[in-house]
Amino acid sequence: MIMILKRPALKQPSVTEEAKSLEERKKKKLWAEYIKARAPKLREEIIRTYAPLARRTVDRLQITAWGCVNKDDLLSYAVLGLIDAIDRYDPTLQTSFEAFASPRIRGAVLDALRRLDWVPRSLRTSESQLRQVFGRMEAQLGRPPTNAEVADFMGVSEEELDGMLSDVARTSLVSLDDLVAGMDSSPLAEIALGSEDDDPYRDTERMEAKDRLTGAIAALPDREKQIVSLYYFQEMTFKEIGQILGVTEQRVSQIHARAMLRMSHKLLRHQDLLLTLTK
């Protein structure tokens, strides 16, 4: 089973919750007015309303500015994704705009970065090497290798290995969402891992896909499992996770990169099967 950490529930609605409820009602009213009139001013207001979603999506990507790419560029790509999501969104589908827009905003940023081919070849080589080492050592040991074991296998110090993980973390576009669903599919937070499929023809495939995913996550060391849970299922940023776990944002980024390297060699082989989770 996947360990998901939940924030404690409050017994009575807090002022913050009441404010959120009011904000949601305002958003629904704004969408209703926009769908009816399609007025440019209302569209601009919606863009302003959801601009923080674009910024948060960039923050969660944890991509460090590199070469010709800076933070303003990333935000610009995110806003373009936000606008595309606004133009495509249909409120009658009973899906929240945030859930609909987040993967599209994220996809717009990553697609732009891929077109720029912004990652130095040396780092692509390093990422590929690390993925192979983690996969090979786990197969040999029958368990996830420790940092010390990986460092020893590669003939580097643990500090050098941490540096390699940091470099890969700030430039890698690989995430669990991509390994499972691809850019146009739902984020993992929307996938009900414990639910049964209503379509009997897909039930077997979906159950097998869930087993692959849950098995890959369950095999992670505890700290990596925690971070995967908080990042993908609670949709927290690395900074927020670091505050909970009492470590730096950079350390969370390193641990996340290590978890993705461990899982990628297991899940990339089953992408077609895993796609059934989002259908």
What is the DSSP track for 127-188? HHHHHHHHHHHHHHHSSPPPHHHHHHHHT--HHHHHHHHHHHHHH----HHHHHT-TTS--G
Q: What is the pLDDT of residue 213?
A: 80
Is the pTM higher than 0.85? no
Structural fold of domain 29-117: Rna Polymerase Sigma Factor; Chain: A (1.10.1740)
Q: What is the pLDDT of residue 3?
A: 47
The rounded distance, in Å, linking the Cα atoms of 186 and 160 is 36
- Going from the first residue of the chain to its last (279 residues), give the mean pLDDT of each consecutive group of 10, the final group possibly shorter: 45 62 87 91 95 89 65 90 94 85 86 74 83 90 93 94 85 61 46 50 68 85 92 86 93 90 75 51
Equal CATH topology for 29-117 and 119-279: no
Q: What is the pLDDT of residue 4?
A: 46
Q: What is the pLDDT of residue 119?
A: 66
Q: Where are the domains of the chain?
A: 29-117, 119-279
| CB of 224 closer than 8 Å to CB of 255 | yes
Q: What is the pLDDT of residue 175?
A: 66
Q: What is the pLDDT of residue 173?
A: 54
| CB of 42 closer than 8 Å to CB of 50 | no
Report angle CA 113, 78, 116 to the nearest 5 degrees. Answer: 15
Estimate the crossing angle of helix 249-267 against helix 158-171, to 10 degrees: 80
Question: Would the CA dihedral through 189, 194, 195, 197 be positive or negative?
Answer: positive
Structural fold of domain 119-279: Butyryl-CoA Dehydrogenase, subunit A; domain 3 (1.20.140)
Q: What is the pLDDT of residue 185?
A: 41
